[in-house]
Each structure stands twice: as C-alpha cells, then as structure tokens.
Amino acid sequence: MSLRKAFDGERRKHQEDIWGEESSPSGEEKSWQSPAYAKSSQVLCNQDALMKNKCVCITPGATEIDNYKVLRAQIIQRTKERGWNTLMVTSVQPGEGKTLTAINLAITLAREFNQTVLLVDCDLKKQDIHKRFGYKSDRGLGDFLLNDCSLNEIISWPGVEKMTLISGGQTFQDTTELLGSPQMKSLVAEMKERYANRYIIFDLPSLKEGADAITFAPLVDGILVVTQYGRNSAKEINNILKLIPREKILGLIFNRQKRWCHHIVDLKVQP
C-alpha cells in the first residue's frame, strides 16, 4: 500500500481523533473543541515537569509569554503572506535552547485565535520532547517511518488546547537516512497539503551535529535558527547558514540574552 493511500485511510478513520476537526473545504478553520481521542492518543501533561523544563508558556500570565507573543507575531507575518505552514527549528550548536524554543513557540501559536499546531520531534537520536511534557511514549516518528505503526498511533494530545505532538519511541543511529527517506518526504508533503491552515513545527538537531537538519531543510517551507547570544561569532553563524537553503531562512532567534527575550533577527548570508 502506498504512503498516500495509508495516509488517506488514517485521515478518514481518525481525523477527528487526531486533529479535533475535519479539514474545511473552504480553507477556514472550525472552532476547536477538545478531541475525543481513541486508545492512548490522549495523555496528561505534567505541568510541574513543564515548568521544571522551562516550558513557561504553559502557564497563563507568565512574564516570558509576552516575549514569545512577539516571536509568534513575527512568524505569522512572515509565513502567512507566503502561504508557509511547515517550519523547521534548529540551532547553530547543541545546547542553545532550540527544543525549548520550539515547545514554547508551539504552545504560543496554539493559543492564537483559530490556530492549531502539530509539534514533531525529529531529533531521532534523543526523542525527548514528550519527557519535557512529563509523560511516556512508546512510539514516535521513526516507528512510523519504518511502517511499525500507523500515524494515529504516534500523535498525542498532551492537554494543550489546539496542539498535538509526535514524540517518543525508540531512538535511532541512521537518522539522516530516515529523515531523507521517501516516506518522510511524502509525509511532510501530505501534511502541508491537507492541513494548510495549521502550523507544523519540526524540531531538528543542531546544524553542527551532523547532516540531519541539512538533509531535512529542503522539505519544509521555512527555517528558524536558534543561537545563544554571544556564543557564536557572526562569521561562524554565516558559515553554518550556508549549509541550508538561504531563501527558506526566516531569521535568527537570539536566546539567553541578559534581558530575556526572543525575537527574530534578519541575517543576510554572505556568499
């Protein structure tokens, strides 16, 4: 069975379970209601774990939320006019906060009026986003790509309104091959086509950790690159950005500044 047929079958059987509503023929989102998830798709996130892991946007009124709202506004402005909805989040080096940024951004986007979000853990060597939400997950993206389970089985609703998550399962070593596989390419293309009004955020390893992010970059519409403020020189950043399509780069997100904030900075990549 082709991936397209399998995807169509899963969509017809489980679309309300996974996404909370049918895709609107007119392209408009319906008002969101808490989905009645089948089997183990519904999980309960642990708010204490989220706060411990600095997923601050889970708590309404947190002072940091305003900073992520600025980031959200910038992303919406830069993507809506282009019809972009598939976004990759990566970083220059490991440990610069790209996964935390992806989580908080996904939560903040999901709280935008009439906006739904799917966050996909594509760091197949780690698979730990679900752990930051405080729950266990036996299956993830890699399991689906190897045809070990259905799409419905790997998508969870962690209790955050209008947000779903793919994370968990076994870890892998041949990650570049999986992320560059025909199955992965078809999955991203199907998601973009069928869920054009939703943001799909893919969290990838850093650009210095190998070829995963470089291989995956051509599959998405836009790319956000996180970097720790003061850690990398302009030359280092410029050189690393040459590894990914420059026309897809939405900008840099500077993290861990003295005055805590997130914002996108435009950077012209020098030839």
Q: For residue 189, list its beta bridge partners.
A: none
Indicate which CATH number applies to the domain containing 114.
3.40.50.300
pLDDT cut 70: percent of the chain above it: 70
Phi/psi of residue 144, nearest 5 degrees? -65, -45
13 has a pLDDT exceeding 80: no
Overall domain count for the chain: 1
What mean pLDDT comes out for the span 257-268?
Answer: 52
Q: Parallel, antiparallel, or unpaired for β 163-166 and 155-156?
A: antiparallel
255 has a pLDDT exceeding 90: no
What mean pLDDT comes out for the span 113-138?
Answer: 87
Amino acid 128: pLDDT:
86
The candidate with the shortest Cα–Cα distance to 266, out of 239, 237, 243, 244, is: 237
In a domain? residue 218: yes
Sign of the dihedral through C-alpha 219, 222, 228, 233: positive
154 has a pLDDT exceeding 60: yes
In a domain? residue 261: yes
The SS3 of residue 101 is: helix
Query: Tens digit of pLDDT for each residue in 206-221?
Result: 999 999 999 999 999 9
Query: Residues with Cβ < 8 Å from 142, sequence gap 6 or more?
Result: 124, 127, 169, 170, 171, 172, 175, 178
In a domain? residue 81: yes
202 has a pLDDT exceeding 90: yes
In a domain? residue 240: yes
Q: Parallel, antiparallel, or unpaired for β 155-156 and 264-265?
A: unpaired
In a domain? residue 111: yes
In a domain? residue 26: no
Distance CA 227, CA 249 (A): 14
CA gyration radius, the chain: 18
Amino acid 196: pLDDT:
86
In a domain? residue 25: no
For residues 252 and 267, the answer to whether their CB atoms sit within 8 Å is: yes
pLDDT band at 87 (very low <50, low <70, confident <90, very high): very high
The SS3 of residue 119 is: strand
The candidate with the shortest Cα–Cα distance to 98, out of 66, 128, 60, is: 128
What is the domain range of residue 228?
A: 3-16+39-265
Which H or E run includes 196?
A: none
The candidate with the shortest Cα–Cα distance to 141, out of 162, 160, 114, 123, is: 123
256 has a pLDDT exceeding 60: yes
Please give the C-alpha separations between residue 144 and each of 10, 25, 124, 139, 218, in angstroms, as whole numbers: 12, 28, 12, 8, 21
The candidate with the shortest Cα–Cα distance to 154, out of 144, 133, 127, is: 144
Distance CA 267, CA 254 (A): 12
In a domain? residue 151: yes
Distance CA 152, CA 156 (A): 8
